Amino acid sequence: MVSTPANGTRYRFVWIGDEYVLHAAFFILAGYLSGSVLYAQVFSSLFCNKNLMEISDDSNPGTANAFQHCGFWCGLLTLLCDLLKGFLPVHLFLENARPDPCAFAFVLAAPVIGHTFSLFYHFHGGKGIAVTFGCLLGLFPLWKPVAILGFYFIAFSVVLRISPHYYRTIAAYFCSLASMAFIADRMEICMGFLFISFAVLFRLLTSKEKKEQLEVKWLWMH
């Protein structure tokens, strides 16, 4: 049986009882393992035989460092794969199961948790920003959550400029979390993004990145 909620998102009510639990557990594990593959490490090794965790200032195996240290194609492939490893587990889960709030919150967050606490790198990983966008894109056709996060990153980059990027990311996640409680109007999404925010912010706060002085300026200020 197929049910269509008021917001137009379609879910297939095909998994019930123990089968649903196993199905949700599979996607939580798959999402975590998918997130644990650090593509910046993979492609930096292939393209330029470098270890981004060792050569980057913040020891972050992420998209920005892939672009900076190994070039355009390495960065582009890292970005695409980081988006996909968040998108696919979430999107496939929604295509085949009724999203129980608690289970779906963990499915939504699992790829980001895998990226920030990678099983394959002794539970060290990246910041998880690109993966977060991938997970939120997996909610399509529900677009508000990814639009909220994108809005704050853009606003804090070009309107109310918060620098360095460390503080911009913290502000964007805090504001997005608060906004989703009112705009997204879906408990499971708010719960999932709460788990995501904890993982990303913990990784930021414990990173080796040099904490430069916070600057906040409006666009028209120099």
Mean per-residue pLDDT, 206-219: 81
pLDDT score, position 98: 63
Tens of pLDDT, residues 4-20: 454 545 444 344 556 77
Give the Cα separation of 36 and 42 in Å (integer): 12
Whether residue 39 is predicted with pLDDT greater than 60 in this model: the reply is yes
Instruction: List the domain range (segments joined by +) for residue 113.
Output: 2-218
E-only strand ranges, the chain: 2-3, 11-12, 160-163, 215-218
Whether residue 75 is predicted with pLDDT greater than 50 in this model: the reply is yes
The region of weakest confidence among 18-27, 34-43, 112-121, 144-153 is 18-27
Give the Cα separation of 105 and 103 in Å (integer): 5
Mean per-residue pLDDT, 209-215: 80
In this structure, the number of other CB atoms found within 10 A of the CB of residue 148 comes to 22
**What are 201's strand-pairing partners?**
none
pLDDT score, position 64: 87
Q: What percent of the chain stands above pLDDT 90? A: 54
Q: Label residue 186 by pLDDT band (50, 70, 90).
A: confident
Report the range out of 14-28, 31-45, 84-98 with the highest average pLDDT.
Answer: 31-45
Rounded (10°) angle between helices 39-48 and 63-70: 10
Whether residue 208 is predicted with pLDDT greater than 90 in this model: the reply is no
Whether residue 1 is predicted with pLDDT greater than 80 in this model: the reply is no
Tens of pLDDT, residues 95-145: 876 667 788 999 999 999 999 999 999 999 999 999 999 999 999 989 999
The more confident residue out of 99 and 47 is 47
> In the chain, how many domains are there?
1
User: What is the average pLDDT value for the chain, to the nearest integer?
Assistant: 86
